[in-house]
Structure 1
């Protein structure tokens, strides 16, 4: 089994190298926008082969991109249009079923590429040299740039990992280039014998994650110090959006970046703690697909309802789940998705399920049948752990997982 991780390498460029990389990035972005306009004008085309046949020569002549980059541009634009077409079709289905009245407008005009992030193909556009140096293709030819990065990622690049495509990313505030390299790492195939323990993970806003095992062990990962900071950023963002000036827009960009880094770092810390606490385990995660749509207050647009919708959309639980999944594989564990229905309303002792088991939707769980009392989030984690145990028992008996393993990379 392969696990995909991303190595972030800092490029220590000279002024001449910096200028060459920046010029190449901007030319790549301009070519993306040119092909996007062409695709829109010709029936919102998403076929990468047809786009390449029609625009390859013009990309080479107008933007002076090397041949491999000129091939990457139509592929990237075609993939973007395919994604937009999928959203349009899904929106049409949802409108027909009455789930929404809004029409998706993503293809009303040609998509514009703002980010100058540049895609490189390994052994064609970039290669690794000795002493942590990288040979990178630019409009002016190849440049050899020293790089630094996380020691474990550097070790993986130097020996063993399968290296894939990379992205040249520019950190504008710091005026710094980074190379984001995709690495595929071989991990042992999971078996019921290697995954003897099970754990359940319940996510929420009061506690970002609560874990429980069948032995009665539990851990609470509180969001008490982090969530108020995210709420503060949301209030600032609201005031700046009302103001609408250019300086307010610049502040919005800075605040959004800070908030994103805060959440990403918190998710990294929480996921690492969970995985290290449960080695060689089958970790159950809630299947939360479309959770925002299922919990959304659709009727009315009062301030209270808007606040409720905003609360449910405040944290990136999908990112937390994906981090747990890929870190688990690196530590000889595996994460799977289990049914999330009524995990915090079902009694783990007698099985009685009803909304009244959680008075006022609070943190206290009181079973109306057997009077079993416990923390509501811990009840959810224990129910997830039990459902994970059932899946493991079925896996051991049949040799096949009855659910799809959630093994995704970053």
Structure 2
């Protein structure tokens, strides 16, 4: 089985190399916006081949991009439009089923690309050299730049790991370039026999993750120290954006990414702890796709209702799930998605399910049928573990995993 990880390499550029990379990035972004406008004007086109046939020559003439980059631009725009069309169709289905009244507006106007992130194709736009150097294509030709990075990732690159496409990312506050390289790592094929333990993971705001095993072991990963900091950065960003002065804009640039990096680092720490605590395990995660569409939202325009809805949309649970998934594969475990419905309302002892099992919607679970009492998040984790166990038993009996494995690389 192939697992994809992303190596973040810091590029140690000279002033001339920095200027060449920055100019190339901005030209690539401008070409993306040009093709996006063309696609929107011609029926919101998502076919990458037709886009390339129609815009390739103009990209080369107007933006002076090399041939491979000029081919990558229509592919990226086409992929973006396909994603937007999928969201439009899903939204139409949800509106028809009465799950939401909001119309998705992503294709009401041409998508605008703001980030100057540039995509490179391996052995065409960039190649690795000896002594930790990389050759990168720019508008002025190739430049050879030394790089540094995480020792294990550098070792994988030097030892012949399968290298894929990369992205040239610019950290504006630090004025620093990074190369984000995709690496494919070979991992052992999973079998029911290799996964000797079943673990359920319930995610939330007060406790970012709660784990439970079939042996009764449990772990709580609290967000008490982290979530208030993330909320502080969100409030600070909102005040500065509302102020809108030049000094406020400079401050926004200086603090940009702090909230995101705080959440990302926390998710890394929590996911690593979970995976290391449960080696060779089948880890069950909640299937939270379209959770905002499927859950009942508080309606109204007052501040309290808006704040309640915003609170439940704040933490990046999808990122936490993806980190658990790829780290699990590196430690001979595997993560799968299970049904998330009623995991915190169903009694793990007698199976009785109702809203009244959560008095006042608090953290205490009290079964109205058998009076079984436990922490609500732990009840959710145990229900997920039991659903994962059922899938594992079915896998052992049939040889097929009935739920698609969630194996996402970074």
Give distance in 2, aligned partners of 1:9 and 1:242: 35
Mapped contact 1:297–1:305 kept (Cα < 8 A): no
Shift of 1:195: 0.5
Shift of 1:125: 0.5
Shift of 1:408: 1.1
Q: What's the secondary structure of 2:257's corresponding residue?
A: helix
* Structure 2 portions without partners, runs of 5+: none
Give distance in 2, aligned partners of 1:226 and 1:324: 19
Which one is further off, 87-96 or 361-370? 87-96
Give distance in 1, aligned partners of 2:271 and 2:134: 31
For residues 338 and 166 of structure 1, do their structure 2 counterparts lie closer, same or farther at Cα, with a shift above 3 Å needed? same
Give distance in 1, aligned partners of 2:366 and 2:283: 26
Shift of 1:235: 2.8
For residues 244 and 188 of structure 1, do their structure 2 counterparts lie closer, same or farther at Cα, with a shift above 3 Å needed? same
Mapped contact 2:173–2:254 kept (Cα < 8 A): no
Give distance in 2, aligned partners of 1:317 and 1:32: 30
Mapped contact 1:296–1:309 kept (Cα < 8 A): no
Shift of 1:371: 2.3
Which one is further off, 40-49 or 115-124? 40-49
For residues 102 and 390 of structure 1, do their structure 2 counterparts lie closer, same or farther at Cα, with a shift above 3 Å needed? closer
Cα distance per residue 1:154-199 (max 9 Å; x no partner): 1111124210000011111111110000111111110011001111
Which one is further off, 366-375 or 17-26? 366-375
Shift of 1:381: 1.1
For residues 139 and 265 of structure 1, do their structure 2 counterparts lie closer, same or farther at Cα, with a shift above 3 Å needed? same
Cα distance per residue 1:82-110 (max 9 Å; x no partner): 22222233333333344444333322322
Cα distance per residue 1:62-81 (max 9 Å; x no partner): 21111111111111111112
Shift of 1:253: 5.2
- Aligned-residue CA RMSD in angstroms? 1.7
Cα distance per residue 1:1-39 (max 9 Å; x no partner): 111111000011111111111111111111112222222
Which one is further off, 244-253 or 187-196? 244-253
* Structure 1 portions without partners, runs of 5+: none
Shift of 1:298: 4.7
Mapped contact 2:173–2:253 kept (Cα < 8 A): no
For residues 309 and 7 of structure 1, do their structure 2 counterparts lie closer, same or farther at Cα, with a shift above 3 Å needed? same
Give distance in 2, aligned partners of 1:24 and 1:391: 49
For residues 210 and 102 of structure 1, do their structure 2 counterparts lie closer, same or farther at Cα, with a shift above 3 Å needed? closer
Mapped contact 1:287–1:339 kept (Cα < 8 A): yes
Shift of 1:252: 4.5
Mapped contact 2:271–2:323 kept (Cα < 8 A): yes
Q: What's the secondary structure of 2:106's corresponding residue?
A: coil
Normalised to the residue count of structure 2, the TM-score between the two structures is 0.95
Correspondence 1:393 to 2:393: yes
Q: What's the secondary structure of 1:340's corresponding residue?
A: coil
For residues 374 and 91 of structure 1, do their structure 2 counterparts lie closer, same or farther at Cα, with a shift above 3 Å needed? closer
Correspondence 1:6 to 2:6: yes
For residues 141 and 235 of structure 1, do their structure 2 counterparts lie closer, same or farther at Cα, with a shift above 3 Å needed? closer
Cα distance per residue 1:112-169 (max 9 Å; x no partner): 2111111100000100011111011111111111010001111111124210000011
Give distance in 1, aligned partners of 2:385 and 2:196: 13
Shift of 1:256: 5.2
Mapped contact 2:173–2:256 kept (Cα < 8 A): no
For residues 295 and 89 of structure 1, do their structure 2 counterparts lie closer, same or farther at Cα, with a shift above 3 Å needed? closer
Cα distance per residue 1:379-399 (max 9 Å; x no partner): 111111111111111111111
Q: What's the secondary structure of 1:31's corresponding residue?
A: helix
